[in-house]
Chains A and B, each alone.
Chain A
C-alpha cells in the first residue's frame, strides 16, 4: 500500500512539473534545413572609379570637415568592431579625506579637482608618524619604479612620479569660474610659442620660437648632499637643449623612443637619427639636422622648434609641454658619471650601481616639488620646491607616496588603508560601493580612457601572416602559435558579444561610468573652446546603429541572442563546428583580482546569452592573468596571443583624430590591440568627399596627408630587386632597378640618397665603407621606369669577399631615402625602403 502511494505521488509530481514548466518551442535538435535559409553575405558593391587616387590631404581642412572625417572613421571602426567591446570610462567614485579641501567640487576633465594646485589640507593626518609630513598629501603606489628617468621607461609608472618634480614650458591652472582650466607659461616666457612661418590661410606654422627662463629667473633645486653644488644653480639656455640631445642619441639605447618622433608633434629630422641602425654618438653635424635650435636675442635666450607637420600655436604649445624634456645641465650629467657623459646618462634619475645614490641625488628638480626622501620599495616623499616658477599656487606642502604591493592582490587593500586614515584619497572598490557611494566625502570623476575588451578576430591564416614565424607585427616561434577560435572571426558572433554586455549594470556595480563610446569624455575636438568630441553630431551618427534598440549603452539581450543564433547557424552550416560543440575562449586580465571584479560577471553574461540563444553550440570562457599587470598588453594583446583582452590606452586628448592611429592594422602606432580587420582594404562603406577610402588612407589624409591608389594608402615609391651584372666600367657597375615612383596629381617623390647597407663579414661593425658614394639616374624602357644605380668598385670589392660563398652571401642591400610632397607640402627626408642586389652566382641572372 505504501509503495503504491509513493509511486503515485511521484508520478503526479513528475506530471505536475512537466505541466507547469515553461513551454519551450525551440527545436530540440539542430535542423540542417536552416542552412538553406542563410544568405551568403556579399560584399557591398561600390563604384571603383570613385576610389581615392593620388595625393590627398585634409590636414588644413576646416575643423567641421575634420570632425566629419573623424565621425566617419569612428563609425567604420565601430561597425567592424575595431574599437573592441567598450565597457566603461576610467572615472570612478573617489573618496577624499576630511582634511582635504578641493580646488573645486566639480571634476574638471583633464584637470581634476585641483587638489595640489588650488586645494589645501586643513588638518593633520593623525596616522602620519613624521610631524613634518602630517599635512602632506598621502597616496599609495603598488610598485616603486626605482627611477625618474622617463626616457628609459617602457610604461607610464615613472611619469607619475616624475610629474611632481619636473617642470615643463607651459602648465595648467584652474580658471576663475572653477569650471575649466587654462594654459599658462611656466619655464617659457610667452603664453604661446610664436610662429615663424605662419600660413595665414590655415593659421598653422611648422617652426615656432619662444623664450625661456634662465639665469636668476630660474634655479634648480635638490636635497642631495653629494650634489649640493647644483642646488640653486641657475638654469642656462644650453640646459634646455641637453635633454633632447640625450634622447636623440641612439647609442644611449634609451627605451622610450616614441615621444616627438612620429606623427603630429614630431620634430623634424629626429626620427631618422634615433632609429638609425648604427650606434651613433651625437655630433654637431647630426644635431644640425634636427629641428631644434637655441639662441639669444634682445629678449634673452630662446628655443626654436621645427615640426614635421604644420600646426596651430595652441597645438605647438601642447606638443612641447612635456616634463620629459625639463632642463638639465650637461655638467651635472658628466658629474654623475665621474667625468663620463655616457655613464652619467645611465645614472641620471636612477639609483647608482652600489645604491649609495638614489634619484634624490641623481635628478635635479625643476617642478613644483623636489624629492625629500626616496626609500626603495618603501616610500617616496616630495616637499615643495621654493625655486619653482609657479610655487605660489601650490598650497600643499608636500606629497608622500607609500609603496604598498598588497594592492596588486587585494582590490580592497588601498581602501582599507584610506579608511584607517593613512591616505588622502582613494577610489571606492566594488565591495564598499553601496556603503560609501552616498558618503559626503565621496565624489565622482570623469575619465579620459575607455576601458575595453579588445578582440582578436583573426582567422588562423591572418594570424600567421601577422604573428607567425615571419610575422609582420611580431615573429612568434612555431611552438607558441595561438590557435584562433573560428567563432571570433564571425561578425555576428562578435556582435552578439557586444550586445550581450550589460555595461550599465556592470559599471554601476563597480562605481564606474558605463560607456559604449570609444573616446573618453575628456577628448576635445576643439580644446580651446572646450568642445568635447562625444558631444558632436559626427559622434552621435557614428554610434547610432550600435545603440539603436539597446539600453543606450549597447546592451540588448534579444539582439545578442539573435546575433548569436545567426552566428551559430553560419558556423555549423559552414562546417566549422558540429552541433553540440563548445566554443572555447580565453579572456586575458591584468591581475588575478580582476577575475572576481570583471572576469566572472562578464563571463556569466556572455555565456548565459550564448547558451540560451538556441544555437546548439556552447560557449566556455576561461579567465587568464599574467605574472605582472602589463603582461596582458605585452605578452597577449600586442602580440596576438589572446581571444579577448582587457585594457585601454589613451592618447592626446586634444587630438582624437590622431589617436585613431592605434586602430590601424599595420601597427604604425605600436599600440594596436584589436586584430583581424585589414584597415587598408576598401570595402565601399567609407565614403568621403565623393571618394571611397580605406580606413588607413582617410586617416592618413586627415592626419598628415597620404598617397592613395585605388582608395588604399600606398607608398610613393617602390623598388624591385636586381641582380649584379658582369660589366664594370670605370670602376662602377650599373645595376638597372625596376621601380615605381609616383608623379600623380598632388603627389611627388624625390630620391635624395642611396646607401649601401649590407654587411660584408660576420661581425656587426663591418659595414660597407663606401656607403655615401652611390649615385643614380632614371630611365624609361618599354614603359617601365628603371633606376640606374651606379655601384662603385669599392663596394664591389668588399662584396667580392662574399661573392662566391653560396651559404651566406647571396645578396647585399641598398637603402633609399627621399622626400615626398603631398598637396604642396614637402616632408622631411625619410627612409623609403630597401632592396636587394642579388649575387648571380646563387640567384642566376
Chain B
C-alpha cells in the first residue's frame, strides 16, 4: 500500500510536469495575439513581451526568425522589428526560472510587479476555507436527504425532496447569490451584502460565510441527494440485503450495516470530484460577493491576459485535481474491503 501510494504520488508529479509543460508549449504555440491599440500602446505591449523573453526586438529585419509580428518606427526614428522567441527557448527559460529560482513570473495587470506565486498564495486560504466549509455542510445534508428520499421511495416525502432537488439544481449560482443578497442582505438586513473585511468583527466575518457557503453547497447538496437516493434504492433491492433481513436483521440494522456502506462506495469519490467542481464554480460567486479568492483571480487574469498569474492559477487547479485523484484512488481501498491497492496477484 505504501509503495503504491508513493508510486502514485510520483506519477502525479510526473503527470503534473507533463501537463504544465504541454499547457505552456501549447499556449505559446497558439498564434501570437497581436494587440490592437495605438502605435504607442502596441510598442509598450511588445516591449513588455521583450522583457519577459517572449518576443525579440531587432533593429533590422531578420527573416530567419519567421513571421514578422510588427514593425514600428518610434518617435525618434528608431526601427523595431518584433519576432516571437522560439517556443522551446521560451519553455527552457521558463523551466530554468522555476527550477533554479522558483520564479513563476510576475503579474502584468492584477498587481503589477508582484510575484504571481505570491498573489495566488495570498488568495488560496480564502477559497479553500469556503470550499471546505461548503463540502462539510453539503455532504451530510445531501446524503441525509438522499437517505430520507430513498427510505420513503415513491411516497410524498420522496416526491417533495426529488422535485425540490430538480428545481434547485437548475438555478445557476450567480442567480441564487444575487437573490440571497437582495433578500437577506438588503431587504431583511440579516446578512452582510459583501465579504467581510479583515477589520470587521468576528460575528460579521462568520455571517459573511453564510451566503457564499450556502450558494456553493446548493448544487452539491442536490447532487449528493440524487446520487445517494439512486444508490441506496438500488442496494435496497439487492438480494444480499434481502438475505440480511431473512437472517433476522431489522430494517434499520440492515440499512446501517449493509446498504449504506455499500451505497457509499461510489458516493465518496463523488465527494472529491465535487470538491474540485466547487473550486471552479466559485469563480463568478467570488466576483459577485467581493471574495478575494483564486476563482475571482482566474477571471480577472483571463480578462486582462495576465498570463503569468493565469498560468500559476491553472497549475494550481491541475495539481489539486491530480492530488485529489490520488486520494480518490486510495479512498476506494478504505471504503471497499474488496479493493486492495497495489496487491500482488
Q: A residues near B, CB below 8 A? A: 129-130, 133, 146-147, 152, 253, 255, 275-278, 346-347, 350-355, 373, 375-379, 402-406, 409-410, 416-417, 419-420, 422, 473-477, 480, 627-628, 634-635, 638-639, 641, 667, 670, 757, 759, 761-764, 766, 802, 807-809, 813, 815, 831, 833-834
Contact = CB atoms under 8 A, between A and B. Distances in A.
Contacts of A403: 290
A-B pairs, top 5 by smallest CB distance, nearest first, are A759-B59, A834-B77, A277-B78, A627-B303, A277-B76
A152 B41 CA distance: 13
A378 B112 contact: no
A836 B309 CA distance: 44
B17 interface: no
A404 B200 contact: no
A406 B194 contact: yes
B119 interface: yes
Contacts of A670: 38, 40
B60 A276 contact: no
A670 B118 CA distance: 36
Given A409-B288, A808-B61, A834-B77, A353 B42 contact: no
Interface string B36-50: 111111101001000
Interface stretch (B67-75, B127-135, B334-342): B67-75
A152 B38 contact: no
B172 interface: no
A737 to B, nearest CB: 15
A69 B106 CA distance: 51
Interface stretch (B185-193, B217-225, B264-272): B185-193
A414 to B, nearest CB: 11
A750 to B, nearest CB: 20
A480 B47 CA distance: 22
Contacts of A410: 178
Contact of B37 (A419, A634, A766, A833): A634
Interface in B287-332: 287-290, 292, 296, 303-304
A815 B76 contact: yes
Given A379-B197, A402-B197, A807 B114 contact: no
Contacts of A634: 37-38, 41
Nearest to B182: A416
5 contacts: A378-B198, A422-B193, A627-B303, A641-B36, A815-B76
A278 B59 CA distance: 12
User: Quick one: which of A402, A473, A477 has the most chain B CB within 10 A?
Assistant: A477
Nearest to A416: B186
B79 interface: yes
A403 B289 CA distance: 11
Nearest to A833: B77
Contacts of B194: 402, 404, 406, 417
B92 interface: no
A766 B292 contact: no
A764 B42 contact: no
Nearest to B189: A420
Nearest to B186: A416
Interface size class, chain B = 35 or more
B195 to A, nearest CB: 8
Contacts of A813: 77, 79
Given A253-B47, A475-B42, A764-B57, 9 more contacts: A130-B200, A146-B112, A152-B112, A378-B292, A759-B59, A807-B63, A813-B79, A834-B73, A834-B77
A376 B63 contact: no
B115 interface: yes
A355 B118 contact: yes
User: From DSSP, what is the main secondary structure of chain A's interface residues?
Assistant: loop
B204 interface: yes
A404 B192 CA distance: 13
Given A404-B194, A670-B40, A475 B72 contact: yes
Nearest to A805: B60
B153 interface: no
A435 to B, nearest CB: 14
User: Quick one: which of A129, A409, A416, A757 has the most chain B CB within 10 A?
Assistant: A129
B114 A351 contact: yes
B252 interface: no
B56 to A, nearest CB: 9
Nearest to B199: A130
Given A377-B292, A405-B287, A406-B290, A762 B62 contact: yes
Contact of A808 (B47, B60, B189, B193): B60
A354 B115 CA distance: 6
Contact of A375 (B110, B185, B193, B198): B198
B292 to A, nearest CB: 4
A275 B40 CA distance: 11
Contacts of A276: 76
B297 to A, nearest CB: 9
A474 B42 contact: yes
A249 B180 CA distance: 52
A641 B289 CA distance: 33
A376 B119 CA distance: 10
Contacts of B72: 475
B58 interface: yes
B114 A355 contact: yes
A831 B199 contact: no
Interface in B52-110: 57-63, 70, 72-79, 106, 110
Contacts of B36: 474, 476, 480, 635, 639, 641
B59 A766 contact: yes
Nearest to B62: A762
A130 B63 CA distance: 64
Contacts of A278: 78
Nearest to B65: A762
B111 interface: yes
A764 to B, nearest CB: 5
A635 B36 CA distance: 6
Contacts of B303: 627-628
A42 B336 CA distance: 90
Given A352-B114, A808-B60, A815 B37 contact: no
B113 A350 contact: yes
B122 to A, nearest CB: 6
Given A373-B199, A377-B292, A762-B58, A351 B37 contact: no
B186 A355 contact: no
Contacts of A422: 193
B34 interface: yes
A139 to B, nearest CB: 14
A54 B41 CA distance: 35
Contacts of A416: 182, 186, 193
B112 A474 contact: no
B199 to A, nearest CB: 5
B55 to A, nearest CB: 12
A665 to B, nearest CB: 14
Nearest to A147: B112
A759 B114 contact: no
Contacts of B199: 129-130, 133, 373, 375, 379
Given A275-B75, A351-B111, A831-B75, A759 B197 contact: no
Contacts of A255: 44
Nearest to A417: B193
B156 interface: no
Contacts of A352: 114
A473 B112 contact: no
Contacts of A476: 36
Interface string B162-200: 000000000000000010001001100100011101111
Given A373-B199, A409-B288, A474 B37 contact: yes
Given A353-B114, A355-B118, A419-B186, A638 B193 contact: no
Contacts of B44: 255
A120 B200 CA distance: 24
A22 to B, nearest CB: 44
